[in-house]
Amino acid sequence: MMKTALSLSVLAALALGTASAQTTIKIATISPLSGGQSNLGTQIRNGVQLAVNEYAAQFKKAGFNLQLVPYDDQADPATGTAAARKIAADNQILAVVGTLNSGVAIPASAALAPSNLVMISPANTANQVTDRGLANMNRIVARDDSQGPAGANFIMNNLKAKKVYVLNDKTAYGEGLAAEVEKALKAKGVTISGSEGTEEKSDFSSIVAKIKLTKPDAIYFGGIYNQIGVFIKQLRGAGIDTPVVGGDGLDSSELPVIIGKAGANNVYYTTVAAPLEALPAAKTFAANFQKTFNTPAQGFGAFGYDAAKVTLQGILDAARANGGKAPSRKQVMDTIRKGTYKGLLSGEVSFNSVGDRKAATLYVIKIKDGKAALETSLSVKPPKN
């Protein structure tokens, strides 16, 4: 009996030795996990977690213990930048997936840049996210200068609008997107009956009054679902059924809930994150997501998952090139920028010289009777190859 106990303790010690020999590699997420935009931020975090769960065995085989560290940016640039600084201070974190908001991504990626800490965005569309030329900033979604004209073309060609009222939420994302739409509409001779930015979240009566007065054929609002949903609810409440068009900030299952079923009609948005029915490979992912988190996957969950797969494959490739040892942050950053990633839900990913996806797809979604459905899709390329 004594001999058996001794053998067991030796085995336990050996097992412990093996466990401690595993080098811990972490990746982090930065996204809103609390506040008005937490629905989308949590989707991103959960999509990344699913990819981490799937890659854990490959990392273990390579001698690494893989962990995810999620950070809540509350959709606030200062909070996101503080999170980026904390991440940079943890040497075991080799990459970051995030953010949801371009206004957070811009300062957060700049805070990570001196540490050569790579960031892969599943959501950020503002042109200046990559136009700054940072070696650590990449995105797997289309840019505003693709999304804006696509929204404008939809307004002109599909809605046949001759007069448009343009609104934005005064953020880097909303202002940038609305400016691109307005520029494209003006170039085609469409009248802009009003153009303004607003940070209002609860009382849109003065804007609704102006819209009633100017009678536009369509309204474009660059911003996020939690603000725009309230605006649409009040617009419909005032008896105005004018089509409202927005960008991917409206891509949330919460939008029809905020508007209310009666008003959730004649709403369209372009989105960089595909609805799951537009991704043939997403069936298994959607089932795993539901099983793991007990909530349905949305587009940003799928793109969080894809961004994480690019990140994790990049780390494994960098480790392989480093003789099987844990790579440096710079090795990971350089490997990801140069890599080509296949087998993703959204198709093949490779990056241009500034970190834009070489070929992306935009989707136009229509909300009718409170339900979102794919209206059309189009392929887009960034301005630089």
Three-state secondary-structure class, residue 345: coil
Distance (Å, rounded) from C-alpha 273 to C-alpha 356?
A: 15
The closest alpha carbon to 249, from 161, 146, 144, 166, belongs to 144
Tokens 């060609």 — which residue? 157
- For 214-249, write each residue's pLDDT tens digit: 999 999 999 999 999 999 999 999 999 999 999 999
Mean pLDDT of the chain: 92
Which residues of the chain register pLDDT less than 70? 1-21, 385
- For 14-57, write each residue's pLDDT tens digit: 444 444 468 999 999 999 999 999 999 999 999 999 999 999 99
pLDDT at 281: 87
Domains and CATH numbers, the chain: 23-142+278-351 (3.40.50.2300), 144-271+364-380 (3.40.50.2300)
Tokens 């940003």 — which residue? 300
pLDDT at 21: 62
C-beta separation of 274 from 361 below 8 A = yes
Q: Which residues contact 252 (CB under 8 A, 6 or more apart)?
A: 39, 40, 225, 298
Distance (Å, rounded) from C-alpha 277 to C-alpha 297?
A: 11
- For 29-40, write each residue's pLDDT tens digit: 999 999 999 999
E runs forming strands in the chain: 23-31, 64-72, 93-98, 118-121, 137-139, 163-168, 191-197, 218-222, 244-246, 267-271, 340-341, 349-350, 360-368, 371-380
Query: Can you give the pTM of this predicted structure?
Result: 0.82
